[in-house]
């Protein structure tokens, strides 16, 4: 029997820089994906508890050579939450599954552009569309109204169109100094700042612990607290990416969602990778692919690139995933440790419109 946790990351006044493959320093994502969170968390775990402890931890995760293992824990990517009305109401955003909800109309030309922009849905809307009664006629009219900035219904009240009110992204000028010539170069770095005044916002993720993983819960919590003190993402030397951890038991609404039994499909909340994807696994699925790469922290080498299924992808069966070995050849020649990127999947059961 697994145990679920809801973990909130409160960045307060601290800005953050979350890099992605394909964007430069001038841009930043508004959140951290599951593989980046896993890497940062495991790295700080190693510093806190030592090399042997982290090697013992990683040996419990499935890889291409150890398919039979069940991971001690699974994590989702981070997503935005908002606290509005003085903190009395909390809005958790989830990625919109890449299938239409049940009862979605065939004639959607009047509002499809507005619907397509809803990359993230408030928890209540996500639950109704994909685990409850599905899409309603009133949703159609409200989406049509939203194209004219006139929506006033339930979707508006629940924060469906207010995702970007949780944060703002700015570019900050910086100066780089050449170590040899002392020449200077002006550049800009993108930072995301989560709301921290009247309405507050931050990131959250779901954590699923197996019975073995429960034994590690205190260590994982301690490592995450240390990660919060040091920061996550880029520009940490400038004080970016620092957060406070709120480690919570799963609220009742979330329990209903993770325990849902009537779903035919599974929508992933994390990145997902497997060494071998069979054709029948992709039958009647809807997915997007995300390239993942990046630098190795302790060297000037890049990890091997790997392509993963993105959050919101939908499959008929629950994907499991594994760690991908992304150790570059140069790193292997130095006989250093392996570099892994997490493709361990976390998914939720859903209903969806049939073709």
Residue 156 has pLDDT above 80, yes or no: yes
Q: Is 30 helix (H, G, I), strand (E, B) or coil?
A: coil
Cα 58 to chain centroid distance, Å, stands at 21
Residue 334 has pLDDT above 70, yes or no: no
Q: What is the mean pLDDT of residues 253-277?
A: 95
pLDDT tens sequence across 190-230: 899 999 988 999 999 999 999 999 999 999 999 999 999 99
More confident residue, 176 or 306: 306
* pLDDT band at 300; cut points 50, 70, 90: low
Residue 14 has pLDDT above 80, yes or no: yes
Residue 237 has pLDDT above 60, yes or no: yes
CA angle 38, 313, 148 (to 5 degrees): 110
CA distance 208 to 132: 23
Residue 24 has pLDDT above 70, yes or no: no
18 - beta bridge partners?
A: 29
170, 144 Cβ separation under 8 angstroms: no
CB-count exposure of residue 39 (10 Å: 0-12, 13-18, 19+): buried
Q: Is 193 helix (H, G, I), strand (E, B) or coil?
A: strand
pLDDT given at position 217: 97
Q: What is the mean pLDDT of residues 44-65?
A: 94
Would you identify the CATH topology of the domain 260-350? Immunoglobulin-like (2.60.40)
Residue 352 has pLDDT above 70, yes or no: yes
CA distance 90 to 33: 22
Residue ranges of domains in the chain: 3-257, 260-350
């Amino acid at each position: 029997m697994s145990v679920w946790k809801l973990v909130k990351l409160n960045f307060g006044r601290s800005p953050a820089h979350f890099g992605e493959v394909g964007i430069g320093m001038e841009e930043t994502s508004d959140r951290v994906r599951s593989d980046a969170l896993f890497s940062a968390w495991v790295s700080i775990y190693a510093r806190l508890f030592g090399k042997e402890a982290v090697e013992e931890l990683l040996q419990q995760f499935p890889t291409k050579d150890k398919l039979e293992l069940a991971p001690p824990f699974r994590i989702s990517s981070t997503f935005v939450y908002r606290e509005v009305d003085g903190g009395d109401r909390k809005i958790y955003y989830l990625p919109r599954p890449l299938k239409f909800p049940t009862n979605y109309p065939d004639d959607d030309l009047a509002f499809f552009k507005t619907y397509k922009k809803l990359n993230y849905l408030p928890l209540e809307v996500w639950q109704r569309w994909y685990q409850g009664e599905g899409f309603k006629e009133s949703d159609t009219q409200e989406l049509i109204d939203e194209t004219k900035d006139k929506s006033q219904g339930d979707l508006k009240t629940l924060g469906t169109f207010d995702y970007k009110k949780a944060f703002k992204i700015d570019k900050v000028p910086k100066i780089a100094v050449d170590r040899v010539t002392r020449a200077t170069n002006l550049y800009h770095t993108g930072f995301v700042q989560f709301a921290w005044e009247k309405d507050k916002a931050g990131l959250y993720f779901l954590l699923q612990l197996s019975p073995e993983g429960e034994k590690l819960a205190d260590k994982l919590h301690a490592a995450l607290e240390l990660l919060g003190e040091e920061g996550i993402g880029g520009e940490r030397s400038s004080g970016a990416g620092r957060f406070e951890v709120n480690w919570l038991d799963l609220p009742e609404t979330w329990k209903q969602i993770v325990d849902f039994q009537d779903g035919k499909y599974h929508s992933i909340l994390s990145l997902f990778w497997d060494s071998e994807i069979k054709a029948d696994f992709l039958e009647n699925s809807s997915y997007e692919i995300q390239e993942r790469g990046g630098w190795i922290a302790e060297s000037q080498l890049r990890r091997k690139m790997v392509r993963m299924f993105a959050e919101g992808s939908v499959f008929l069966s629950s994907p499991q995933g594994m760690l991908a070995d992304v150790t570059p050849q140069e790193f292997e020649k130095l006989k250093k440790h392996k570099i892994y990127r997490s493709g361990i999947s976390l998914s939720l059961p859903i209903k969806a419109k049939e073709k």
